[in-house]
Structure 1
């Protein structure tokens, strides 16, 4: 029988060999040669993304497969597969003469390939060729019912048998076979259908899985339990026939219905608990040449390489941020607004959290978006958002880096004509359109570095930027990692300090993290390690931390911006530990920001409208029954930041900022308040001179009647003795003199007595 099988195989091999230019005499040699195109690389395996604590964020795969060793598969499962697929596997070579003869005779009689007769080795080869098919044509060729395909599989099987021992071939087959329902390999199938590892399969479960591979669709136990049960019983009976299983055990196993415990295996980021961070990591793999020369190579690595991708994500931080964002800007809110936040660790650049208030999915569905508003275009398709006054921190940093003390005062006019600026190429970049302060109405007086920052006065920062130099301000922002979200350099115009550049919350958080790290900037990173299924460690992007600011200057920035949370535009938003930050309100209330930090964690929050902030501004905003009026950085973004930081840092020791060098106090603290002198009773000219000499500006109001002589100061606002900043306007009210008495009023015997004597109707007056 073996000789007859060999003859029949030779007859089939000969025409196929001839088509590739091999003569009849050499056909046997050709068949025995190892094919040059034989690719025995490991089967495609799913990759997984892990958080910093080792918990799974997401999985990626073309084929849901988990490679296991042979000893990690229950022996009963191995016997069940061999019984129904190739009981003589350990006795024959690449070609099972008996099985092949039976199949070939049937195929010759019918004129086509109708019967398989393939052994485990040939089935492994068939699955391998199908898996490695990248095009539809290659897939069709791998499945074609032709003698040519069969001979190709036989030739490959011979090579496989030469290269590997039987146990290794069986292991490879059990890891590559398709078991239906998206499960490739017996381990993934066991987890899918029974929620357990293949090492713990029972007899009935093992027989069920062994029966599926012949026709994974027809015998799918989830979709077709009846057919799956019949097939399971066929496997059990075959094991009894081979004396591999006692009949009574087979009867007990066949007595029950197929019992399933289905486990879903998520694929991709849409079902992840951290979908936008997951998407960021996915894009990091798919766009970075470190992980492959071409996009196709990188995608293949991610979805077939069985990568273990360890990340920087902190679940506590992520959950706190997601709760905060969703609480203040619900995913399906009635106003159509959106919010995004990124949290970065100072000194390491590690991204600890990244959230958007929407689900990851098609924008056509309410409450979903494919755009990661938290990241740059390269990692989320976002074109970025104007940053508003959060950019003022870079002007402040440049000024302090140049040694300006806190008490440096500049006049902040109500309107500012932006002239006297040059970009980093030395070209003048001026304008004639006046810029003004935002709706807070500040301006018209002088401010210090401290008070100008606390009150976020636009015209003060325009004047400070001119004093420092536009280019110096731009270079400070660039040293702190700022670029436009589209990857291009920052644009340089006078309104730079007011935040017209479109940027991402990720870059803003990383920049502010550098302040918390005393001037050390780290590129934001999401990956800590990537390990291939082979055990090889792949190179990952590094934070490349660098000291870009003088430590003392960074300490000074922190000192000033702490006051924003205590006495500035975000007062009341403290988190119970040392913290600093800056509000940002974009022109026409088209968006709002808050960026803040501690020495341990930095975060940047954006709130706006994905449909376009200028078209849908946040003025008179009402959202889900709550009305805000006009939205500033302290209105919604700052509360999101506060709630996120409190939750993220809960249970963690609080860090503290360093005291800035004494040189920054050379002109005072910048917060010094002057006692307003009492000028009531002085002649108006003398009062004005005294107030001006004390550093105040003076307005004269209308005359009032008073006890003070006419022409002197009768009243003043603020009141005498008030503690206020130099440069504040003081309004004086001249006296018009004592009012003339009204002749119609009766005279009062004793004008000092407020209770005139009145008769008592019921008796004499009681003594005091």
Structure 2
């Protein structure tokens, strides 16, 4: 057996190897072989074997995959989940005596040393599986580029360190454990790290299902991954695969005929790339929200770098709140009404939040995730706040009126509480929560959703979204109380700052995000229980340990009765108000929002089971590019109100999202709110037809109506100068204070009378009395 066979033990061989390496490279003399061996065999104090970086996966609520994050595309598997033939193939070509030798394969190492000594440099490797594992481990656990370069350097000192670590690791782990770790750490080219990722990438199947030919191909790649990558050099990869098969045959591990058959087989690649990040996710903006949730929360690491390392290398399984069916419904709706590449450059975003949990069930933007320079793409998540998507938010418009309504109801105002709403209103006498005057001399009107010039109740003022009504109501309630109500329900500006306090607060000048507005509306659906919007349900690491995740912090923010009363009022918006006709066939409530100058439009609505907020506008700037004279989704609009596009998006979304969700009803509001009537009390229009205009106007005014006169009309029934008709007509049930239009008769329409047409069968005459003994009066004897 020569000198190797006569060496008494590992320690002596180690001493000889150390001496040879030292002598051949650095000329160090005087190191005793025995002392060298003792040093060599001692377990190094700096030896670490931490888990290597593994890819993390984000899952929807049903377990379907949304995205994968990784530095290296790696997915660890136990050895028993690797096909036995794969284990044989890698051992055959890399270390056939792996289960026979210790940490060092002396034959291979001395052979390599002899070659290196003759050349005066490292020219040949003798690394076994254990040494290769150590080399890869040192690279993977390096903290900086300098350590990574050192771990890869082709120097005897690096080789010596590997040999020493290899001896130590064999004392700590079994052969199977070392082989398992090696297979999970090795690089197989084309971005695939570890045998499981490689098997799925090249063949679209797990490592447990690899065939002989598949296994030989993968085993051959490891030596030079870039040269033998079958996606780049299929010819070289095939040759290398066949070399592995020949080696397996030489060792007697497979029959010659089997090896020959496998060598004739095609590569049979089924390349399946693993996207890294959110760009190709089925819910890209929700995925982006999840990513930012982890990267921005110190709970997942003290620094951004640590959090990034956890997400991309921690092998996390991140289970989220997303409902794929609801996500699909929302995405289809926003894309249908505001196509991603529309010529108007308009955009839409929607967020769905579950009442009582705060779980974000869907998040849709009518864009792809990507650079805005490419049409139909954006990196900005219009559905989220700036800390979850870089958006600074959009003015909320009349969707904010709900907070003034809630504050009024919280103070005990009944549904029938009425205010005169002028056509224009100058907001004076307002103070913010610090007691400072924030009045304005600017006259505000009803140019958007509503109308003015008469009185409205809490109910009808909300249904018609009357700006001046809500400005007067806000003054009566108090600006500060209105702001505090919004804050109780989680509202803040999208840039993270506090809500600004001015009289137009109720008209929604603050810039907010759909997800935060949806969460606030969800609180009304949950009878006053507010929950912070959340996307994370559970996170586990590679060992199955759960990580602490943010809580929704659900709590009773406002009285249940107040919430029930708000719901009662907002149900009417979908049946009798600005969004009439947008019902979904089950109990639902909502509020339109049209921002000043038509710079954007909103709709926020909910059922007891789901809340949603929809925004439509122009990312380039709503005031410079308003929603005027635009064509979207097959329809053209002179001006876009909240009911025109946002409400239909909401309706289509909810119909799809709630298709399999049982129907639930809202709770009835407390009876105290009816102390002044229902708020929607209607009166009948008096019958004034045939009266003089002044008399008719007097009767209508006495009944509480405003009166206007329309153009005179023809009438065959009512004399000239009298009332021919009214609008609304006599007997109609209308709201108090509504305007009744009087139309005065011009008399019968002038012109020739229509000719008399004889009936079929000739003229007919009425019976004429016949005098006694004579011909009927007025007729000749022949009857003509």
Q: TM-score range by the shorter chain?
A: over 0.9
DSSP-derived class of the 1:620 partner: strand
Q: CA 1:678/1:116 → structure 2, altered by over 3 Å: closer, same or farther?
A: same
Cα deviation, 1:349-385, whole Å, max 9, x if unaligned, reads: 1111011010011111111111111111111111101
Q: d(CA) in 1 for partners of 2:756 and 2:524? A: 74
State the Cα distance separating 1:150 from its structure 2 match.
Answer: 1.3
Q: d(CA) in 2 for partners of 1:667 and 1:546? A: 32
The partner residue of 2:400 within 372, 391, 396 is 391
Q: Paired residue for 1:430?
A: 439
The partner residue of 2:103 within 94, 98, 101 is 94
Q: Is 1:253 aligned to 2:262, yes or no?
A: yes
Q: Paired residue for 2:673?
A: 664
Q: d(CA) in 2 for partners of 1:549 and 1:455? A: 25
DSSP-derived class of the 1:161 partner: helix
Q: CA 1:27/1:755 → structure 2, altered by over 3 Å: closer, same or farther?
A: closer
Q: Paired residue for 1:8?
A: 17
State the Cα distance separating 1:698 from its structure 2 match.
Answer: 3.7
Q: Which runs of 5+ in 2 are unaligned?
A: 8-12, 767-784
Kept in 2: contact 1:387–1:584 (CA 8 A): yes
Q: Paired residue for 1:338?
A: 347
Cα deviation, 1:83-136, whole Å, max 9, x if unaligned, reads: 111112122222221111111111122222121111111100111111223433
DSSP-derived class of the 1:339 partner: strand
Q: d(CA) in 2 for partners of 1:412 and 1:270? A: 50
Q: Paired residue for 2:199?
A: 190
Q: CA 1:380/1:702 → structure 2, altered by over 3 Å: closer, same or farther?
A: closer
Q: Paired residue for 1:724?
A: 734
Which sits farther off after the overlay, 256-265 or 172-181?
256-265
The partner residue of 1:409 within 410, 415, 418 is 418
Q: Paired residue for 2:764?
A: 766
Kept in 1: contact 2:15–2:40 (CA 8 A): no
Q: Paired residue for 2:366?
A: 357
Q: Paired residue for 2:174?
A: 165
Instruction: Give the alignment of 1:235-314 within 5 angstroms.
Output: 235-314=244-323
Kept in 2: contact 1:335–1:624 (CA 8 A): no
DSSP-derived class of the 1:538 partner: coil
Instruction: Give the alignment of 1:572-591 within 5 angstroms.
Output: 572-591=581-600
State the Cα distance separating 1:439 from its structure 2 match.
Answer: 4.0
The partner residue of 1:205 within 207, 211, 214 is 214
Q: d(CA) in 2 for partners of 1:110 and 1:237? A: 30
Q: Is 1:603 aligned to 2:601, yes or no?
A: no
Q: Is 1:133 aligned to 2:136, yes or no?
A: no
Kept in 2: contact 1:6–1:97 (CA 8 A): no
Which sits farther off after the overlay, 613-622 or 149-158?
149-158
Q: d(CA) in 2 for partners of 1:114 and 1:542? A: 58
The partner residue of 1:554 within 563, 579, 591 is 563
Q: Is 1:532 aligned to 2:541, yes or no?
A: yes
The partner residue of 1:214 within 207, 220, 223 is 223
Instruction: Give the alignment of 1:481-560 within 5 angstroms.
Output: 481-560=490-569
Q: Is 1:105 aligned to 2:114, yes or no?
A: yes
Q: d(CA) in 1 for partners of 2:158 and 2:303? A: 31
State the Cα distance separating 1:722 from its structure 2 match.
Answer: 2.6
How many corresponding residue pairs? 753
Q: d(CA) in 2 for partners of 1:86 and 1:764? A: 121
Q: CA 1:470/1:163 → structure 2, altered by over 3 Å: closer, same or farther?
A: same
State the Cα distance separating 1:673 from its structure 2 match.
Answer: 1.1
State the Cα distance separating 1:252 from its structure 2 match.
Answer: 2.0
The partner residue of 2:409 within 400, 412, 415 is 400
Which sits farther off after the overlay, 392-401 or 718-727?
718-727
Q: Paired residue for 1:750?
A: none
Q: d(CA) in 2 for partners of 1:345 and 1:510? A: 8
State the Cα distance separating 1:263 from its structure 2 match.
Answer: 1.7
The partner residue of 1:675 within 680, 684, 697 is 684
Q: Paired residue for 2:94?
A: 85
Cα deviation, 1:673-730, whole Å, max 9, x if unaligned, reads: 1112234566777655543442223446789999999998776544332322111233
Q: Paired residue for 1:175?
A: 184
Kept in 1: contact 2:525–2:567 (CA 8 A): yes
State the Cα distance separating 1:469 from its structure 2 match.
Answer: 0.8
Kept in 1: contact 2:448–2:641 (CA 8 A): no
Instruction: Give the alignment of 1:60-71 within 5 angstroms.
Output: 60-71=69-80
State the Cα distance separating 1:191 from its structure 2 match.
Answer: 1.1
State the Cα distance separating 1:162 from its structure 2 match.
Answer: 2.0
Q: Paired residue for 1:751?
A: none
Q: d(CA) in 2 for partners of 1:682 and 1:181? A: 92
Q: CA 1:377/1:756 → structure 2, altered by over 3 Å: closer, same or farther?
A: closer
Q: Which runs of 5+ in 1 are unaligned?
A: 747-753
Kept in 2: contact 1:13–1:151 (CA 8 A): no
Q: d(CA) in 1 for partners of 2:756 and 2:158? A: 127
Q: Paired residue for 1:114?
A: 123
DSSP-derived class of the 2:523 partner: helix
The partner residue of 2:385 within 358, 368, 376 is 376
Q: CA 1:68/1:79 → structure 2, altered by over 3 Å: closer, same or farther?
A: same
Cα deviation, 1:252-287, whole Å, max 9, x if unaligned, reads: 221222221222212111011011111111111111
Q: CA 1:267/1:440 → structure 2, altered by over 3 Å: closer, same or farther?
A: closer
Kept in 1: contact 2:608–2:665 (CA 8 A): yes
TM-score, structure 1 normalization: 0.93
Q: d(CA) in 2 for partners of 1:427 and 1:285? A: 40
DSSP-derived class of the 1:266 partner: coil
Kept in 2: contact 1:591–1:613 (CA 8 A): yes
Q: d(CA) in 2 for partners of 1:763 and 1:165? A: 118
Q: CA RMSD in A?
A: 2.7
Q: CA 1:610/1:135 → structure 2, altered by over 3 Å: closer, same or farther?
A: same
Q: Paired residue for 1:150?
A: 159
Q: Paired residue for 1:366?
A: 375
Kept in 1: contact 2:628–2:638 (CA 8 A): yes
Q: Paired residue for 2:573?
A: 564
Which sits farther off after the overlay, 518-527 or 101-110?
101-110
TM-score, structure 2 normalization: 0.91
Q: d(CA) in 1 for partners of 2:37 and 2:511? A: 69
